[in-house]
Structure 1
Amino acid sequence: MFKKTLTALAIAAAALSAQAQDVLKVAATAVPHAEILNFVKPQLKTQGVDLQVREFSDYIQPNAAVEDKQLDANFFQHQPYLDSYNKDRKSSLVAVPNGKVHVEPFGAYSKKIKNVKDLKDGALIAIPNDPSNAGRALLLLQKQGLIELKDPKNITATPLDIAKNPKKLKFRELEAALLPRALGDVDLALINTNYAIEAKLNPTKDALFIEGADSPYTNIVAARADRANDPVIQKLMNALHTPETKKFIQEKYKGAVVPAF
């Protein structure tokens, strides 16, 4: 009887312990964001946080789900994209304090040429269709000397902002997630690293040219303003900033994803 009582007490204690876990629901794109979150999940569990990762394949729903209070935070975007989203959608999401995690150097890929010097006149270039990443792609093309923008520092430039286009390049704007699939139909595609990795492209080997480590497009954790300083979200940030997490990023992605802490 005594043993049964102890067993019952143990079960009750375990149930109470489970109930005491703070649930944190975070939206993320699959690679590398969800992978990094799942890496820190066990650590957070020991700190009383039940991290639940919800994967998305686009760049709109993760913000909408946080704004609508379906989820608590997200991890998939950089600050220029968040600024553009807030402006276009009249939203007010913010980067959480100490929210920078990593940089995904943006690269150019092709199935038709091996060197950017081989890009022919009138070539078709695919770029993301969202303002911040379209501008990012055009700035990278400008750095290669392929085009010249009216404002050489305009991070939200579109093809309409091109002042000089000596090769008469043509542009196709597509949703970022679709760019890897378009590689066979275009001469060159500027692809976000998370989607490049998902498509089994190796940014450090397969990209014809790629951003340097000085890229200002650091990926962040974002939340509603009323949750930005939540202690549970700060526990997440602390876990994302450990030496163990840095080592995981460096070893798993081998330069395709660069820690920013």
Structure 2
Amino acid sequence: MKLKKLLGLALSGVLTISAIGCSKTQPENIDEKGNNKIVIGASAIPHAEILEEVKPILQEKGYELDIKVFDDYTLLNTALDEGSIDANFFQHVPYLEDTIDGQGYDLTYTAKVHIEPMGLYSKSIKSLDELKENSTIAIPNDASNAARALKLLEDNGVIKLKDVESPGAKDIAENPKNIKVQELDAAQLPVVLVDVDAAVINTNYALEAGLNPTKDAIIIESKESPYANILACRTADKDSKAIKALTEALNSKEVKEFINEKYSGSIVPAF
């Protein structure tokens, strides 16, 4: 009996040592789910490009960053809410707020990363002075970006809007040149540029289409634009180790230097 008892104690000791040994092999910053992979959804340019610079920073902290590129940005918040990704990086604060109000998603954001100044582009004119009466200007059709585009036109004297928080085309109060505003999917605006007189295009889609915002835009938002692109996550995960590590990496000195060098002012760090 004593021998069996001694063997039992010895085996117990071996198992304890083994368990301790295994625990030391896991990443120091492993998250609450026992997983060191962070899956993030993003638009291709510039978001996925910026995230590639984040990968080595996170590797040093014990995390693997898995970047999923979405061609249709309208699916990114749904994917985040459903849990198929851990975070997303593609949108500004007003767009996230509109999605939360409309869909009831329990999402939030942790960091402002960069600003993509929205600009007006054209294949047929080179300045606003050349904009003729009854011209057609295309703008994004989602509420937050439509309001942003219309405010850009107002700031440059093309139209005047009613005093409302989030204006749409119906809120144009003064339209001296009788401009026709055509609302289209944001990703299609560079494609239809040949069919309209001008279009207000988000910088990420302008870059994808080979347009240089600092050179090709007729007018462009100022660098003080409130539409900073953010890192979004589920509210329940906001304080997780993984999301905190990702937040710190996106707001790092290395990322700021990359944005400044890569985009030469067409995209501006927001931190």
Do the two structures share a fold, i.e. TM-score over 0.5?
A: yes
State the partner residue of 2:106. 92
User: Structure 2 CA distance, aligned partners of 1:216 and 1:73?
Assistant: 21
- TM-score relative to the length of structure 2: 0.87
1:228: how far off? Answer: 1.2
Matching residue's letter, 2:156? Q
Unpaired runs of at least 5, structure 1: 1-12
User: Structure 1 CA distance, aligned partners of 2:235 and 2:118?
Assistant: 29
Which whole-Å deviations, capped at 9, do the CAs of 1:212-259 have from their partners, x for residues lacking one? 110000110011110111111111111111211111000000011100
1:157: how far off? Answer: 1.1
User: Structure 2 CA distance, aligned partners of 1:90 and 1:127?
Assistant: 26
State the partner residue of 2:62. 48
Which whole-Å deviations, capped at 9, do the CAs of 1:122-148 have from their partners, x for residues lacking one? 000000000000000000000011111
User: Does residue 162 in structure 1 map to residue 172 in structure 2?
Assistant: yes
User: Does residue 147 in structure 1 map to residue 143 in structure 2?
Assistant: no
Matching residue's letter, 2:87? A
- TM-score relative to the length of structure 1: 0.90
User: Structure 1 CA distance, aligned partners of 2:223 and 2:101?
Assistant: 28
Which whole-Å deviations, capped at 9, do the CAs of 1:127-176 have from their partners, x for residues lacking one? 0000000000000000011111111x63x211101011110000111111
Matching residue's letter, 1:207? A
User: Structure 2 CA distance, aligned partners of 1:224 and 1:173?
Assistant: 30
User: Structure 2 CA distance, aligned partners of 1:199 and 1:257?
Assistant: 15
SS in 2 for 1:226: helix
User: Structure 1 CA distance, aligned partners of 2:252 and 2:109?
Assistant: 19
Equivalent of residue 50 in structure 2, options 21, 25, 36: 36
1:88: how far off? Answer: 1.5
1:93: how far off? Answer: 1.1
State the partner residue of 1:178. 188
User: Structure 2 CA distance, aligned partners of 1:242 and 1:82?
Assistant: 23
State the partner residue of 1:3. none
User: Structure 1 CA distance, aligned partners of 2:100 and 2:26?
Assistant: 39
State the partner residue of 1:82. 96
State the partner residue of 1:22. 36
User: Structure 2 CA distance, aligned partners of 1:18 and 1:79?
Assistant: 33
Contact 2:27 2:36 in 1 (8 A): no
State the partner residue of 1:215. 225
User: Structure 2 CA distance, aligned partners of 1:222 and 1:180?
Assistant: 26
Which whole-Å deviations, capped at 9, do the CAs of 1:172-208 have from their partners, x for residues lacking one? 1111111110100000100000110011100000000
State the partner residue of 1:112. 124
SS in 2 for 1:105: coil
Equivalent of residue 201 in structure 2, options 180, 191, 210: 191
Question: CA RMSD, aligned part only?
Answer: 1.7
SS in 1 for 2:38: strand
User: Does residue 137 in structure 1 map to residue 156 in structure 2?
Assistant: no
User: Structure 1 CA distance, aligned partners of 2:232 and 2:96?
Assistant: 8
State the partner residue of 2:79. 65
User: Structure 2 CA distance, aligned partners of 1:231 and 1:165?
Assistant: 51
SS in 2 for 1:80: helix
SS in 1 for 2:237: coil
User: Structure 2 CA distance, aligned partners of 1:228 and 1:174?
Assistant: 33
Larger mean Cα displacement after TM superposition, 80-89 or 199-208? 80-89
Paired residues in the alignment total 244
Q: Which runs of 4+ in 1 moved over 2 A?
A: 16-21
User: Structure 2 CA distance, aligned partners of 1:160 and 1:146?
Assistant: 15
Unpaired runs of at least 5, structure 2: 1-21
User: Structure 1 CA distance, aligned partners of 2:56 and 2:134?
Assistant: 52
Matching residue's letter, 2:224? D
Larger mean Cα displacement after TM superposition, 227-236 or 251-260? 227-236
